[in-house]
Structure 1
Amino acid sequence: MNKKVLVLGEDTRSFLSVIRSLGKAGYQVDVVCYDRQSPSLKSVYISNAYFLNYQSYTQSEWLEALIELVKIEKYDALFPCDERAIFPLFENKDKFPPSCVLAIPNQEVIEHLFDKSTTKQIAIKCGVPVARGEIITLKDKSLDYLQTHFGQKFVIKPTLSFKSEQLSKRQKVEIVDTQEQLSQYTKYIDAEDQFLIEEYFTGIGEGVSLLAMNGQVQHLFAHARVNEPRAGGGSSYRKAIPVDAGMAESCIKLCEATKFNGVGMFEFKKNQTTGDWILIEVNARFWGSLPLAIHAGIDFPADYAKALFGELTPHKLPNQQYNLKAYARSLSNDLYDTKAEFEYDLQHGDVLKGVYRLFKRGIGYGRLLSNETIDSYDAKDKAPFKEEVKQFYRNTLGGKIRKVLSKPTHTTSEMNRLMAMLYVAPSVSIKFVCYGNIMRSPMAHKTLQTLCNQVDLDWQIDSFGFHQNENRQSPVECIKGAKNIGIDLDTHRSQWLKQSAVNPDDDIIFIFDERNSDLLSSFYDCKNVFNLAHFVPSGLGQHQEIADPYGNGDEAVKYCYLLVVEAVKNIFEQYLKVNSK
């Protein structure tokens, strides 16, 4: 009987690569996917998909649901693809059945290689070159202070990509050399938050990927970034290169020092002029450029699974045999990166340079005819690639065309659909959902509740937001604007919409804009969703959204509330009319 494994993630790089690798190796692959819209879910190698995420579940709910799933399905192994699953699995490993192997890093790796500051310390101890820098509080530091200490251009690094207590939010590395960039980055951080600030090292990103068991390296694979993102962050286009002997030695030292057990990618930066290089960080998990390594000939996920099940024959020396001509790109990310580079050149008046770069990157797609692959593409599993292309089109050109050519949603058909649901419902449960639950949704909630109270209509009505910071008051301008039309928002406090608050089959959910719709589609199980904007009476025009008035003053709130109230009244009056017949 084939072993049964559960893979946790969402992207079309590491997550999809692990799914395909294990599926081709003969394992039954189930997944826990954070995003219901992920193209990876189209893979033919997935037997069953489950949806647990940190938007619609608290961290404790997520963990409890996962443990219950593992016990019921009796998985032989769990393969987490990032820290959102690695941290809770590591911290609660004793709660999982002993028969289920957890593909997570060992204690020493967690302690030393996930925090960028401790990674820096152990690298220095092992004699591995790193950038000059230090841990400081950032909120009170001026640009002048930072540039004096770290150079004209410097790098801001959160010590952790994800905080274990806030797994819903990924923290971002930023390259900074202007006041605007610094102000934008520090806008939402707290005074006590600490960051690793380093001088900027000029060079090209290179990575050394490896599989090690108990500190002994089994495979080594190296890649370089073909294009370096201007603002930093992950690469969208990479190529295989020979393993640098010095980098390999550094990786082996760090693996021995931490008794490294698992997979990882050690990220370096190399100056092409001097040949000098530094260690940037360690991703002690499956990494974004994993599709390139597999395409080049080293199947890290399959061999990791063999090692976990005691089926891998150890190498005395690390295997470094792979196709040095291999290239791979993340299609959507590369197209967005190309667009951003071109727009940057245009904004800075360098049209010729922009056109040249655009042409050069376009020519690079010719490699697809030889040694290049696209992360989401596989000849035996084409559906994820097709879905990625569809989503990219919808989010770019297709979206613009749709806005220009699309006809307004027919209010009558939407109203008829809603009335039919209300008519057959044994009890009516309505939820209004906007982003923050402090402006639009509470106004709709209170308006409908007031109307229902006037005719003793026993509907269950509530409002929620996607923002996870609860118990926030409505802004002053909203309280004042609502009071002017007889609605009291003074006592309202925001609520975060959790999946536990939603009855997928029976609840009627009203959203206000496309962003609300996207969040519901990605993270929640709900079937009966309506856009309140489609119920605004025709005398006020055709509307595809009721825009968030946040930060736009009293007049924006006044207009927003006009649309909200009239839409709610329209629904209510139509219901009374239909029910009186």
Structure 2
Amino acid sequence: MSEQPKRRPTLILGASPRVSVPMARSLQRYGIPVDIASFQPEDRDIHSRAICGFHRLPSRQPDPALFTRALLDLVRERQFDTILPAGDPALAALRDLYNELSPTVHVGCPPPAVVERVLNKSLTLEAAQKVGIRVPFTCTITADQLDSVAPQLRFPVVAKPAKKGAAAFKVFYFHTLQELSKALTANAWGPVMLQEYCPGVGVGIEILIHKGECIARFQHRRLKEAPVSGGVAILAVAEEPDPELFASSMALLRALEWEGVAMVEFRSDRETGTSALMEVNGRFWGSVSFPIVAGVDFPLYYWQVLHGERPTVPPRYSVGMRWRWSPGYVDRLQSFLFRNTGQPGPRPSLLRDLMRTPADFSPLIREAVWSWSDPRPFFEESARAVWSLLAAPSTSALRRVVPSKLKKYAAIYFRLPRQMRTTYIRLRIHDMLSLSSQNGRPALANAQSFLFVCYGNMMRSPMAEAMLKQALLTRGICGPVVRSAGLHASPGREAHAWAIAVSQEIALPLDQHRAQLLTPELISSSDAIFAMDFENLAELETLYPAAKHKIFLLGSYAEAKGTNQEIPDPYFGDIDTTRRCYSVLSKCIDNLASDIASSRQELTLCR
């Protein structure tokens, strides 16, 4: 008997147990060593017999260059020859690094331009319309653009991130304009896609496509979702491929020039016989274990295609088989019991749902993560879900009694990456106890360059830059370099519409401003760096600890001497909020310019 050839290891990028573990088991059965790497702070380590190693990479969000170096070093060190994405953030990462990776590694996605057509839902829906697939009314907006599209919206609407892979939420359902407006104002979601709600059930058409031809296919229908208002599948049934939906899916994937695995999601109304496209997942999906146990081993087939092998795909799979993701039932129950205003949507009967649940746990229904030979991933994921449910009552009670200001601080804390949270708490406590040096004004005697930093470089920091330039010029001071940047800026983006309007009112127009992303070079070349709030400050101090001595709160130059010297982001308000913000900025900048003028005799005076 000949020995099986030794294969180089594969890296699965992404650490969702119900996705990554079935993928790893599939490849391990074929003799392929598998490692998993995570770059998202909220991911937990995965322990499985199918996994040779688990790696923790730096988050992409604060420092993409650091993430890139770490991933490339890991690939070289472990000699991976294949990288497969397990989730949209991983797919977005592989898109951005495709040119660096593809010369030496089999990358589990098409070239970047093709991936963008799937990650950008607007491009996906546009391609679908061109091939004759029905799509719901869709528009992409930010919070300040809601009024302009409100007359076109037909409620209920579905809200999703405009772009996959950089999302703060999955999906929300809104039944009124007021609900939608409140949610957009209260959350820093950025661009959001709003879709007309389509009645019916979710149907997934899973396909492995290679050079325009279908290598393998599978279809499932959702029976239950978590949360109850709609989200991910927790109970599903395998079906015969619907000829019309399959033909539409293939036409769409060919139009997108897709290569590899994809799940095309439809909402099918069985009463009217109509279906509408929801989205395309261009990577391994949450229910990937379902087709595997039903007889369609997508991870293995895709690995074989990437390596030039011809997969042996069975002509049929187990139609009628049911599949369950048990931890999702805990999420579903939690959404019944502790649904908050951030999750509006239809609410079925809890009693009826509980009465039907025992039948869902029949031993004949296949479990997403369970394996007799590898039970640990199932128990770890289930324990986390149960713990979340047990903690929910205290969390819900605290939400009702905690002051709104502390709620706001808590929301910021959980929004920050884990490595920045301790710094944020320290800054908050020091500020409340008046212990922080940030409560005083910095010495600027030798500062020749100033940098203002906010979240997106669209409202606060560009105006602070413009104001200081004018204030120094008015005082006859030339020489200092004044710039601004955003921790999460989209380079080249225009200033916010409210910022432009108010800037024109005060004769400091921001029409020509274009956002720039904060870089290590900007930090190192600046003598004094001013953050707008404690969230900015925590990120700056964590990302650039060596520059901590020159990072300050601009609010330390405010007229008021209170401890909380933040300049809140007007993005979550309205144009009047922007006016009030710029009024505070004006006072701070005037005091800053006066300090510069009085403390530094060596500045060159304009003649």
TM-score by length of 2: 0.62
Q: Distance in 1 between matches of 2:355 and 2:104?
A: 54
Q: Is 1:341 aligned to residue 336 of structure 2?
A: yes
Aligned to 1:95: 100
Tell whether the 8 Å contact from 2:45 to 2:54 is kept in structure 1 after alignment.
Answer: no
Cα distance change, pair 287–499 in 1 and its aligned pair in 2 (3 A): farther
Which residue identity lines up with residue 161 of structure 2 in the other structure?
Answer: P
Offset, 1:48: 1.6
Deviation per residue, 1:132-154 (Å, 9 max, x gap):
334455534349x63x4232312
Q: Distance in 1 between matches of 2:29 and 2:41?
A: 23
Cα distance change, pair 327–495 in 1 and its aligned pair in 2 (3 A): same
Q: Of 97, 111, 115, which aligns to 1:110?
A: 115
Aligned to 1:231: 229
User: Can you give the 5+ residue segments of structure 1 that lack an aligned partner in the other structure?
Assistant: 403-430, 451-466, 474-488, 504-550, 552-581
User: Can you give the 5+ residue segments of structure 2 that lack an aligned partner in the other structure?
Assistant: 1-5, 396-419, 440-453, 462-530, 547-567, 569-607
Equivalent residue of 1:236, what SS?
strand
Deviation per residue, 1:241-299 (Å, 9 max, x gap):
22111100011112222332110110000112112111111001111111211121111
Q: Distance in 2 between matches of 1:247 and 1:24?
A: 32
Cα distance change, pair 351–26 in 1 and its aligned pair in 2 (3 A): closer
Cα distance change, pair 343–98 in 1 and its aligned pair in 2 (3 A): closer
Q: Is 1:495 aligned to residue 531 of structure 2?
A: no
Q: Distance in 1 between matches of 2:216 and 2:421?
A: 53
Aligned to 1:247: 245
Equivalent residue of 1:104, what SS?
coil
Cα distance change, pair 71–498 in 1 and its aligned pair in 2 (3 A): farther
Equivalent residue of 1:223, what SS?
strand
Q: Is 1:197 aligned to residue 194 of structure 2?
A: yes
Tell whether the 8 Å contact from 1:12 to 1:40 is kept in structure 2 after alignment.
Answer: no
Aligned to 2:428: 439
Q: Distance in 2 between matches of 1:49 and 1:137?
A: 37
Equivalent residue of 1:14, what SS?
helix
Tell whether the 8 Å contact from 1:220 to 1:320 is kept in structure 2 after alignment.
Answer: no
Cα distance change, pair 235–443 in 1 and its aligned pair in 2 (3 A): same
Offset, 1:86: 2.2
Which residue identity lines up with residue 109 of structure 1 in the other structure?
Answer: V
Superposition map of 1:198-217 within 5 A: 198-217=195-214
Deviation per residue, 1:337-394 (Å, 9 max, x gap):
133235669x99x99943122211x223332x11321x22112210111112222333
Tell whether the 8 Å contact from 1:56 to 1:499 is kept in structure 2 after alignment.
Answer: no
Tell whether the 8 Å contact from 2:98 to 2:112 is kept in structure 1 after alignment.
Answer: no
Equivalent residue of 1:18, what SS?
helix
Q: Of 332, 346, 351, which aligns to 1:355?
A: 351
Aligned to 1:283: 281
Aligned to 1:370: 364
Q: Is 1:161 aligned to residue 155 of structure 2?
A: no
Equivalent residue of 2:354, what SS?
helix
Count of residues in Structure 1 that have an aligned counterpart in Structure 2: 433
Q: Is 1:69 aligned to residue 66 of structure 2?
A: no
Tell whether the 8 Å contact from 1:434 to 1:440 is kept in structure 2 after alignment.
Answer: no
Q: Distance in 2 between matches of 1:394 and 1:296?
A: 31
Equivalent residue of 1:98, what SS?
coil
Cα distance change, pair 500–159 in 1 and its aligned pair in 2 (3 A): closer
**Structure 1 vs Structure 2: percent identity of aligned residues?**
24
Tell whether the 8 Å contact from 1:71 to 1:97 is kept in structure 2 after alignment.
Answer: no
Q: Of 49, 53, 56, which aligns to 1:48?
A: 53
Superposition map of 1:443-482 within 5 A: 446=435
Q: Distance in 2 between matches of 1:491 and 1:344?
A: 31
Equivalent residue of 1:85, what SS?
helix
Tell whether the 8 Å contact from 1:206 to 1:268 is kept in structure 2 after alignment.
Answer: yes
Q: Distance in 2 between matches of 1:96 and 1:206?
A: 34
Q: Distance in 1 between matches of 2:17 and 2:428?
A: 36
Q: Distance in 2 between matches of 1:195 and 1:305?
A: 34
Deviation per residue, 1:62-103 (Å, 9 max, x gap):
111101111222111111212323223223323237332111
Q: Distance in 1 between matches of 2:255 and 2:67?
A: 33
Superposition map of 1:390-429 within 5 A: 390-397=383-390
Tell whether the 8 Å contact from 2:334 to 2:392 is kept in structure 1 after alignment.
Answer: no
Which residue identity lines up with residue 158 of structure 1 in the other structure?
Answer: P
TM-score by length of 1: 0.65
Aligned to 2:218: 221
Which residue identity lines up with residue 358 of structure 1 in the other structure?
Answer: L
Offset, 1:447: 6.3
Q: Distance in 2 between matches of 1:401 and 1:343?
A: 11
Q: Distance in 2 between matches of 1:313 and 1:322?
A: 15
Aligned to 2:499: none
Q: Distance in 1 between matches of 2:140 and 2:456?
A: 28
Tell whether the 8 Å contact from 2:330 to 2:389 is kept in structure 1 after alignment.
Answer: no
Q: Distance in 2 between matches of 1:56 and 1:352?
A: 37
Equivalent residue of 2:90, what SS?
helix
Equivalent residue of 1:92, what SS?
helix
Q: Distance in 2 between matches of 1:248 and 1:392?
A: 35
Q: Distance in 1 between matches of 2:272 and 2:109?
A: 37
Q: Is 1:325 aligned to residue 328 of structure 2?
A: no
Give me the CA root mean square deviation. 4.1
